[in-house]
Amino acid sequence: MRLAMLGLGRMGGNMARRLAAGGIEVVGWNRSRETADALAAEWDRISAAGTMAEAVEALTPPRVVWSMLPAGEATEAALMELTRHLEPGDIVVDGGNADYRESLDHGRLLGDSGIEFIDAGVSGGVWGREEGYCLMVGGTEAAVGRLEPALRVLAPAPDRGWARVGPVGAGHFTKMVHNGVEYGMMQAFAEGFDLLERKEAFAIDPGQVAELWRHGSVVRSWLLDLMADFLGEDARLDDIAPWVADSGEGRWTVREAVDSGVPAPVLTAALYARFQSQDERGYQARLLARLRQAFGGHAVRQGGEAE
């Protein structure tokens, strides 16, 4: 099988490497040509294309073009351009973290030109290249069937770690919920380890507990494995700023919960904890402190110091 990979960043580049190692030929395209050239120089089964049109030309119909471009404008522009180069029967896969509602639109847009659209939620991060990716795939059975050789190589095992979860939209919907769960699990660990670390009287080593919980405990998990690794080296995390980014999936999950009336207090609280960490102005907390002072005469800290 031969496919084109658009976007050779952390995810796309590593996926191209895993595909090539698994016997799939990859035509790579990246906004900066040098990245594609470097990857092609590294691997026999990867070649570089200078333009999207060139990448498409290097394939034989019915073609498969897999996009790992950032969700939003970059993906939007690529899909518009692909409609000009592809033919009916070709397949476009979007493996980015896109909003499933946009993927539904993309499915319709490409469908109008007879092009099959597959939305693939991809989990595994930087470890995926070695360990394999978990792939949550939405699309027609026929299109997903044609993509199967690539899915079998990308997944941790040929028959495990990938599945068609439903029609177009279902892949990114499932990945959105997956990330909501990810937020909740991460937040639960963060709160638990904060409690452990703060109990000065017991001087518990968080790294030791993370390692301990990996064995036989009901909360063992891959996130815990990762934590045990870094806490074992530096449990204080003094060099890490207390600021946690969020890329959208958590927000979409909470919006979905509200729209469908599904109670999701844990996922919502986890998202808000991230917002709190991003709040460098601290206006909320300053207002609270001031209000408390106004009604009760309670002390406030000024300029960061206790009064």
Ligand X SMILES: O=C(O)[C@H](O)[C@@H](O)[C@H](O)[C@H](O)COP(=O)(O)O
Catalytic residues: 175, 182
CB of 220 vs ligand X, minimal distance in Å: 18
Tell me which of 60, 245, 296, 305 binds ligand X, using CB under 6 A.
Answer: 245
State the Cα torsion 184-185-188-189 to the nearest 10°: -150
**Cβ nearer to ligand X, comparing 128 with 207:** 128
Q: Minimal CB distance to ligand X: which residue?
A: 123
C-alpha to C-alpha distance for 295 and 284, rounded to whole angstroms: 17
* CA pair distance 178, 171, nearest whole angstrom: 11
Stretch that binds ligand X, among 165-173, 209-217, 241-249, 263-271 (CB under 6 A): 241-249
Task: Tell me how far apart the alpha carbons of residues 285 and 289 are, in angstroms, rounded to a whole number.
Answer: 6
53 or 226, CB closer to ligand X? 226
For ligand X, the binding residues in 172-231 under the rule CB under 6 A are 179, 182
For every residue of 206-217, which 3-state class applies, written as one string?
HHHHHHHHCCCC
Is residue 249 a contact point for ligand X (CB under 6 A)?
Answer: yes
The contact pattern for ligand X, residues 110-139, with x = CB under 6 A and - = no contact, is -------------xxx--------------
| Residue closer to ligand X, measured from CB, 85 or 178 | 178
Task: Evaluate whether 58 touches 4 at the Cβ level (below 8 Å).
Answer: yes
Instruction: Considering only residues 79 through 98, tell me which ones interact with ligand X, judged by CB under 6 A.
Output: 97
Phi-psi region of 208 (alpha: psi -120 to 50; beta: other; left: phi over 0): alpha
Q: Is 268 in the site for ligand X (CB under 6 A)?
A: no
Q: Which of helix, strand or coil describes residue 204?
A: coil
Instruction: Report the nearest approach of ligand X to the CB of residue 265 (Å).
Output: 19
Q: Kindly provide the b/e burial profile for residues 242-269, where b requires at least 16 CB atoms within 10 angstroms of the residue's own CB.
A: eebeeeebbbbbbebbeeeeeebeebbe
Residues that bind ligand X (CB under 6 A): 97, 123-125, 179, 182, 245-247, 249-250
